[in-house]
């Protein structure tokens, strides 16, 4: 069970890194000649802050959206691990840890969706 | 500075941060945030957002290597993640109400404290616990791990509420400052619950990713994760920490560790001074 879990995490990170690299190259190409300034905080555009907006951005081939998609993949990786553990505890009929995993999953999902 | 140079420098800096984080055992975030704020003059809220992302990447990236050793306890990890994830969400909310310069000062203090903690942990190993709390077996937190001669050593844990409470603090710090707070997690497991060192370090690594994921979503929705920063930093920290983890096995670490702990202490002091002078 732990070996599969480790592989799952590794796969998620590899996939996210690949998408990140792709988006990054496109981003630098699209913004070449621009001067970056992150001294003062200004919120990122609303479209890049929720799943729907990121997805339509990816479909439109927007580099920033591709990077944000990689960020979403990365956030999803540990969440997938918790889902996997929940199923594995279910197969082992460990009721206590099915409940514990479900609580962790609920907190993760609350954090992700409540703030929208 | 053009975008290409800025991105290349960010990548190299993050690579170094990842390397340092892996060699000191403190994680990439603790070096990354000072580097971004002091070196690249990035707003600390951006630095924290992007640090959370690289913390998830390093934790998950290193997991496969840890799993091969077969030391981590999924049950202890999952049980304590209840505390860290709730803490992380609280931390992410606190980050909106705390003054930017206050964030920098808190960061400096936590940095110094973690460096001291990890230094002390490396020098004084905890004596093995013979008999744990009765709840250790009831909550199925007891387990075993392979020893050097192939036999499995059994272990139990004690002071579960204390460890759970400390994990809540670790989670809050993680959500507030964008760090893995591995040092506090190991403190909770090692010193308070008396989990064997080999089990606690690997389990803590597993927990870091899940904890950071709980608050990363909130940072993303608030627009605190900037794509232009995210890609060079995440790829840099990840490569740096993977190189660091590989090198760690071979290198004579105690000298390196001493040098880097001093570097981290200096960064902490600099964060505090910088925060105070800009605030007042």
pLDDT score of B65 = 64
Chain B residues whose beta carbon lies within 8 Å of the beta carbon of residue A45? 223
pLDDT score of B148 = 66
A64 contacts B3? CB cut-off 8 A: no
Calpha distance B34→B187 (Å, rounded) = 23
Provide mean pLDDT across the span B172-184: 88
Question: Which is higher by pLDDT, B15 or B250?
Answer: B15
Band (B137; pLDDT cuts 50, 70, 90): confident
pTM recorded for the entire structure: 0.88
pLDDT over threshold 60, residue B251: no
Interface test with B, best of A35, A72, A74, A85 (most B CBs within 10 A): A74
Q: Give the position of tokens 């994990």.
A: B167
Question: Which is higher by pLDDT, B70 or B85?
Answer: B85
What is the DSSP-derived secondary structure letter of residue B130? S
B214 contacts A111? CB cut-off 8 A: yes
pLDDT score of B70 = 62
Which of B53, B78, B82 shows the shortest C-beta gap to A71? Answer: B53
The residue of chain B nearest to residue A16, with distances taken between CA atoms, is B57
Q: Which of B15-24, B141-150, B207-216, B270-279 has the highest mean pLDDT?
A: B207-216
Q: Which of A102-106, B39-43, B99-103 has the highest mean pLDDT?
A: A102-106
Instruction: Tell me the residues of chain B between 129 and 158 that have a Cβ less than 8 Å away from chain A.
Output: 139-140
Question: A34, B96 in Cβ contact below 8 A?
Answer: no
Provide mean pLDDT across the span B186-190: 83
Provide mean pLDDT across the span B150-174: 87
Which of B2, B92, B140 shows the shortest C-beta gap to A33? Answer: B2
User: Which of A93-97, B37-41, B124-128 shows the lowest mean pLDDT across its residues?
Assistant: B124-128
The residue of chain B nearest to residue A63, with distances taken between CA atoms, is B227
Question: Which is higher by pLDDT, A94 or B23?
Answer: A94
pLDDT score of A2 = 67
Contacts of B223 (CB under 8 A, 6+ apart): A43, A44, A45, A46, A48, A49
pLDDT score of B253 = 58
pLDDT over threshold 60, residue B198: yes
pLDDT over threshold 60, residue B252: no
Question: Which is higher by pLDDT, B82 or A46?
Answer: B82
pLDDT score of B152 = 74
Which of B46, B57, B86 shows the shortest C-beta gap to A41? Answer: B46
pLDDT over threshold 80, residue B211: yes
Residue A59 distance to chain B (closest CA, Å): 17
Provide mean pLDDT across the span B245-261: 68
The residue of chain B nearest to residue A66, with distances taken between CA atoms, is B227
Provide mean pLDDT across the span B8-30: 83
Question: Which is higher by pLDDT, B267 or B68?
Answer: B267
Q: Which of B89-103, B111-125, B242-256 has the highest mean pLDDT?
A: B89-103
What is the DSSP-derived secondary structure letter of residue B179? -
Which of A7, A36, A45 shows the shortest C-beta gap to B228? Answer: A36
The radius of gyration of chain B's CA atoms, rounded to the nearest angstrom, is 18
Check if B63 contacts A (Cβ < 8 Å). yes
Tokens of B187: 């403190």
pLDDT over threshold 60, residue A96: yes
Calpha distance A70→B94 (Å, rounded) = 26
Calpha distance B19→B13 (Å, rounded) = 10
pLDDT over threshold 70, residue B160: yes
CA angle A70, A76, A82 (to 5 degrees): 160
Question: B68, A6 in Cβ contact below 8 A?
Answer: yes
B66 contacts A97? CB cut-off 8 A: no
Calpha distance B211→B190 (Å, rounded) = 19
Break chain B into its structural domains and give their ranges.
3-279
Instruction: Tell me the residues of chain B between 238 and 267 that have a Cβ less than 8 Å away from chain A.
Output: 238
Question: Which is higher by pLDDT, B75 or A5?
Answer: B75
**Interface predicted TM-score (ipTM) of this complex, two decimals:** 0.88
pLDDT score of A53 = 79
Band (B172; pLDDT cuts 50, 70, 90): very high
User: Which of A90-104, B11-25, B162-176 shows the lowest mean pLDDT across its residues?
Assistant: B11-25
Question: Which is higher by pLDDT, B236 or A54?
Answer: B236
Q: Tell me the residue length of chain A.
A: 116
B43 contacts A6? CB cut-off 8 A: no
pLDDT score of B122 = 66
């Amino acid at each position: 069970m732990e070996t599969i879990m480790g592989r799952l995490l590794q796969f998620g990170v590899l996939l996210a890194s690949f998408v990140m690299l792709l988006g990054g190259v496109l981003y630098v190409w699209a913004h070449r000649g621009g001067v970056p300034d992150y001294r003062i905080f200004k919120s990122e555009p609303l479209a890049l802050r929720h799943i729907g907006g990121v997805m339509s951005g990816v479909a439109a081939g927007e580099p920033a959206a591709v990077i944000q998609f990689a960020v979403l993949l990365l956030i999803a990786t540990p969440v997938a691990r918790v889902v996997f553990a929940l199923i594995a505890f279910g197969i082992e009929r460990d009721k206590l840890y099915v409940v514990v995993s479900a609580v962790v999953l609920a907190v993760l999902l609350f954090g992700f969706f409540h703030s929208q | 500075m053009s975008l290409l140079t800025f991105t290349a420098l960010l990548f190299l800096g993050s690579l170094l941060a990842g390397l340092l984080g892996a060699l000191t055992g403190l994680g990439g975030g603790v070096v990354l945030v000072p580097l971004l704020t002091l070196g690249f003059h990035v707003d600390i809220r951006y630095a924290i957002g992007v640090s959370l992302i690289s913390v998830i990447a390093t934790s998950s990236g290193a997991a496969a290597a840890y799993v091969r050793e077969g030391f981590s306890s999924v049950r202890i990890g999952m049980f304590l993640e209840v505390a860290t994830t709730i803490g992380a969400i609280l931390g992410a909310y606190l980050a909106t109400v705390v003054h930017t310069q206050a964030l920098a000062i808190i960061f400096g203090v936590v940095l110094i404290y973690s460096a001291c903690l990890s230094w002390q942990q490396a020098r004084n190993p905890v004596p093995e616990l013979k008999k744990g709390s009765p709840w250790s077996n009831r909550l199925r937190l007891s387990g075993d791990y392979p020893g050097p001669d192939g036999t499995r050593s059994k272990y139990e844990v004690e002071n579960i509420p204390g460890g759970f409470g400390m994990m809540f603090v670790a989670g809050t710090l993680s959500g507030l400052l964008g760090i893995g707070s591995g040092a506090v997690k190991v403190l909770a497991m090692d010193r308070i619950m008396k989990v064997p060192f080999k089990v606690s370090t690997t389990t803590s690594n597993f927990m870091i990713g899940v904890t950071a994921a709980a608050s990363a979503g909130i940072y993303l929705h608030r627009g605190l994760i900037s794509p232009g920063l995210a890609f060079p930093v995440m790829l840099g920290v990840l490569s740096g920490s993977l190189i660091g983890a590989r090198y760690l096995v071979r290198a004579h670490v105690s000298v390196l560790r001493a040098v880097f702990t001093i570097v981290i202490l200096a960064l902490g002091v600099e964060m505090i001074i910088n925060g105070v002078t800009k605030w007042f």
